[in-house]
Amino acid sequence: MEYTTLPGTDMRVSRIALGTWAIGGWMWGGTDEKTSVQTIHAALEEGINLIDTAPVYGFGRSEEIVGKALHEYNNRRNIFISTKACLAWDDRGVFRDATRGRIKKDLEDSLRRLQTDYIDIYFVHWPDPRVPAEETAEAMKELFYEGKIRAVGVSNYSSDQMAEFEKFSPLHLSQLPYNLFERGIEAAETAYCRDRNIALMAYGVLCRGLLSGVMRSDRAFAGDDLRNHDPKFQGDRFRQYLAAAEKLAELARDRYNRGLLPMAVRWVLDQGAEIAVWGARRPEQITPVRDAVGWVIGDYGRRQIRKILNQTITDPVGPEFMAPAVREA
């Protein structure tokens, strides 16, 4: 495993984090607690020491499972937890709420579910345009100086939004969507993080499974699976992305003797992300992690990747469909 020390902290975390959105079940067709706990333990055994979760992942279920798994593993001091605040939900759906009160409530609920008395990395999950940046940032700063959280992060923030947040609070990490198929943050956000010494934590590195190496055109998505609403998985676009994945898999095999999945993760790390979030919910999905570390893609590989993407994807689309609603007045 590769490790990095987070800017402004003494935390040395794995450059691959375990993502637990799918473990929560919501928008992923359900969950199995026993298998999920085994998955978390398998990740820890591979050297992953950073677990990423959020209250909205299964409406508390993911955090509960993470808490149970870490309690059973009994090594909290050497394991780092990142979770999030500022998404609320009711019978109308999920919406943004970055008020001071919501942040404090979310923290206490997360501490209880995770069976811990501090959070290592705490993110504002989504910016809330109805709440002044000062209110949100000041609330996060207070938690940081109180010692309830060890690092402050924002998620899904533009470079301008990060700059405004930094007027009122330290900022250690930025979590953003980034993968071979979704590269919108390269326009401004990656440069901002680099220039301000903010650790970039990339999520969605496998693009909801499109870069897993096992996605097929006849794949059906059950129940509330978010891929039923993802434009990448619809019609001609789906065929384009599958064609790109096939060509990328050939490059990974012929050039690096590896699968598409580890090459996709390696690409994100080589592009400047300090941390790549690897989503899994079965122990066997952890095994390829060892093929993603200890090597680099190199200039030739990056040129070939760009060529493949330019030739195969003529109608690209980003991850904007995942943005939650802004709450009503």
Residues marked active site are found at: 57
> Cα–Cα distance between 117 and 125 in angstroms, integer?
20
Which residues pair with residue 16 across a beta bridge? Answer: 276
- The full 3-state SS of the chain, as one line of letters, equals CCEEECCCCCCEEECEEEECHHHHCCCCCCCCHHHHHHHHHHHHHCCCCEEECCCCCCCCHHHHHHHHHHHHHCCHHHCEEEEEECEEEECCEEEECCCHHHHHHHHHHHHHHHCCCCECEEEECCCCCCCCHHHHHHHHHHHHHHCCECCEEEECCCHHHHHHHCCCCCCCEEEEECECCECHHHHCHHHHHHHHCCEEEEECCCHHHCCCCCCCCCCCCCCCCHHHCCHHHCHHHHHHHHHHHHHHHHHHHHHHCCCHHHHHHHHHHHCCCCEEEEECCCHHHCHHHHHHCCCCCHHHHHHHHHHHHHHHCCCCCCCHHHCCEECCC
Q: Are 211 and 264 in contact (CB under 8 A)?
A: yes
> Cα–Cα distance between 297 and 98 in angstroms, integer?
39
- The tokens describing 270, both together, are 């080589």
Residues 6+ apart with CB under 8 A from 151: 6, 8, 9, 11, 120, 121, 122, 144, 172, 173
